[in-house]
Structure 1
């Protein structure tokens, strides 16, 4: 069993704040636009974001799992996949460099889509 130093308890460990001149995480804006493209009802099962960098660019890599469900889920999921790469994303301080559907699973209630995206800071 391990113990925890009480000085580190509290909200300080949960908050994710920008450091220096880094821009905010574009994930919330990306998720809102994905949900609008997919139509209702669509839910976000999981969404994670982590820093990404190359020799010339900085950004974030995002992994997203969507559940497109409802009576017309087949049509909406096909339409989402068709427009995903050509969509005009409006993300302040970032642009979407790449977005793909990595996997899709169908069940009796809808379609589960695993997406990955790369957003780059727009300086």
Structure 2
């Protein structure tokens, strides 16, 4: 599991991408980009990451839940979901091999998006 407590400082994470995040779990950088895609107000409700490997590749499997709130939350969810699988992500020394929305739920002025992603180390 990966703690995301430090995600509250996204500008610092982005600014230090070359030194701090090299070869490490790409989850913090991915979370910053997912929050940007979701728009404000949005928070990471839950995120976990674990190692993944195949015969030829190694990477990490991520499970994430985002909470979008506000009167436009339903429209923002639709925009977030549109083209998610084809989206470009900037992850130092990693790439997103697969990202999907697994579920979620709606409430008045609130949307929760549950998704999973597979990142692969880019040698």
**What TM-score does the superposition give when structure 2 sets the normalisation length?**
0.80
Q: CA RMSD in A?
A: 1.1
Structure 1 ranges of 4+ moved more than 2 A:
none
1:31 partnered with 2:31: yes
Higher gyration radius (CA)? 1
Q: Following the alignment from structure 2 to structure 1, what is the Cα–Cα distance between the partners of residues 109 and 58?
A: 38
Cα shift readout 1:29-88 (whole Å, capped 9, x = no counterpart): 000000000100011000000000000000000000000111211111000001311111
Note the residue ranges of structure 2 that are not aligned, 5 or more in a row: 1-21
Q: Following the alignment from structure 2 to structure 1, what is the Cα–Cα distance between the partners of residues 98 and 73?
A: 24
Note the residue ranges of structure 1 that are not aligned, 5 or more in a row: 1-21
Helix, strand or coil for the counterpart of 2:29?
Answer: helix
Q: Following the alignment from structure 2 to structure 1, what is the Cα–Cα distance between the partners of residues 83 and 75?
A: 12
Helix, strand or coil for the counterpart of 1:80?
Answer: helix
- Aligned residue pair count: 102
